[in-house]
């Protein structure tokens, strides 16, 4: 049995988030949309998948490889534009063995077509919130439900003085400082770093994103220094690295200042936490 998955093209509502990655590759709770779909079709007995992609198909190919991770065969087919399911079925019916149910436009999470992801930022956030309890797919390793509605990845470190309110997701290698408030309705992607006394509510914090001390992020999508209010659609670039920034890009602040500020997050810091923080700083300062 074969399946054809159509990767979504760029969408005007998501333009601020697709400069670095195509939508199919965008990270949500530690995995991308295409990874969730491949897990879904593999669990349903699909053995061969064709991925049709027009937005940076080489990036999609690098992510999924040959499909061995899912025990399936994957072919990535470049296209000049996004095809509708009907167009894809007509063009590629030779590689399909069943009808139109084998062709899917990945503009939603598996089983949640009522939550279109890319029509608006509000729709995107509603979709990822609805997906939160379903994202612990069979292939996930190291994700645990710390308490009802609170999911935590490997090596996540949360201060005992922080407040974490369900529902929320904390990815692997996340750091949350003392007296920070996380949730409800919050996703902290892998490697994000929330400083002491910060508050993050009903928001998505992208991978390797730093939120500074005492900063309040509400009803927002933060990705590096980009801050989007998903209710209003407003977009802003935050110039102050000690307010909001990407840990993967060089910053104007010196490494010593960063070490001092970041170490405070886990105060009183243990030796293993200090080594972990130093590794983060080394990666930040040496990344292109």
Strands 186-188 and 204-205: parallel
Of 57-71, 121-135, 200-214, 261-275, which range is least confident? 261-275
DSSP letter for 87, please.
Answer: H
Q: What is the pLDDT of residues 167-184, one digit of tens each?
A: 999 999 999 999 999 999
Nearest to residue 175, comparing CAs of 130, 214, 208, 222?
A: 208
Could you state, in order of their start, the residue ranges of all structural domains in the chain? 2-134, 144-286
Q: Which helix (H) or strand (E) is 150 found in, with range?
A: strand 150-152
Q: What is the pLDDT of residue 97?
A: 60
Mean pLDDT highest for which of 18-22, 24-28, 274-278?
A: 24-28
CATH class assigned to 2-134: alpha beta
- The tokens 């900063």 sit on which residue? 215
- Fold of the 144-286 domain: UDP N-Acetylglucosamine Acyltransferase; domain 1 (2.160.10)
The pLDDT of residue 284 is above 80: no
For the chain, the residue count is: 288
Q: What is the pLDDT of residues 50-82, one digit of tens each?
A: 999 999 999 999 999 999 999 999 999 999 999
Task: Look at residue 99 and give its three-state secondary structure.
Answer: coil
CB atoms within 10 A of CB 80: 6
Q: Which two tokens stand for residue 187?
A: 């996703």
Q: What is the pLDDT of residues 207-261, one digit of tens each?
A: 999 999 999 999 999 999 999 999 999 999 999 999 999 998 554 444 545 555 5
Nearest to residue 210, comparing CAs of 202, 196, 218, 201?
A: 196
Would 2-134 and 144-286 be classified into the same CATH topology? no
Per DSSP, helices labelled H in the chain are 33-43, 57-64, 85-92, 121-131, 255-263, 271-286
Q: What is the pLDDT of residue 282?
A: 43
Confidence of residue 41 (pLDDT cuts 50, 70, 90): very high
The pLDDT of residue 286 is above 70: no
Task: Give percent of the chain above pLDDT 90.
Answer: 70
Distance CA 70, CA 66 (A): 9
Confidence of residue 262 (pLDDT cuts 50, 70, 90): low
């Amino acid at each position: 049995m074969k399946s054809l998955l159509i990767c979504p093209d760029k969408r005007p509502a998501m333009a601020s988030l697709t400069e670095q990655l195509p939508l199919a590759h965008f990270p949500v709770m530690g995995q991308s949309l295409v990874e969730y779909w491949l897990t879904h079709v593999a669990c349903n007995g699909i053995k061969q998948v064709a991925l049709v992609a027009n937005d940076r198909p080489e990036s999609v190919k690098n992510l999924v490889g040959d499909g061995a991770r899912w025990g399936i065969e994957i072919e990535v087919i470049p296209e000049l534009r996004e095809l509708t399911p009907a167009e894809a079925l007509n063009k590629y019916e030779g590689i399909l063995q069943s009808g139109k149910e084998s062709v899917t436009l990945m503009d939603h999470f598996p089983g949640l077509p009522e939550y279109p992801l890319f029509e608006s930022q509000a729709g995107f956030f509603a979709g990822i919130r609805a997906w939160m309890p379903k994202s612990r797919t069979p292939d996930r390793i190291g994700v645990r439900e710390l308490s009802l509605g609170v999911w935590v990845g490997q090596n996540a470190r949360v201060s005992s003085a922080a407040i974490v309110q369900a529902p929320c997701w904390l990815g692997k290698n996340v750091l949350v400082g003392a007296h920070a408030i996380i949730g409800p309705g919050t996703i902290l992607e892998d490697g994000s770093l929330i400083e002491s006394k910060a508050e993050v509510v009903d928001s998505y914090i992208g991978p390797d994103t730093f939120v500074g001390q005492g900063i309040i992020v509400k009803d927002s999508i933060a990705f590096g220094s980009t801050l989007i209010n998903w209710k209003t659609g407003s977009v802003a670039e935050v110039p102050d690295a000690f307010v909001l920034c990407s840990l993967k890009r060089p910053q104007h602040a010196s490494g010593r200042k960063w070490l001092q500020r970041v170490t405070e997050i886990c105060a009183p810091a243990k030796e293993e936490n200090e080594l972990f923080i130093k590794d983060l700083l080394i990666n930040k300062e040496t990344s292109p």
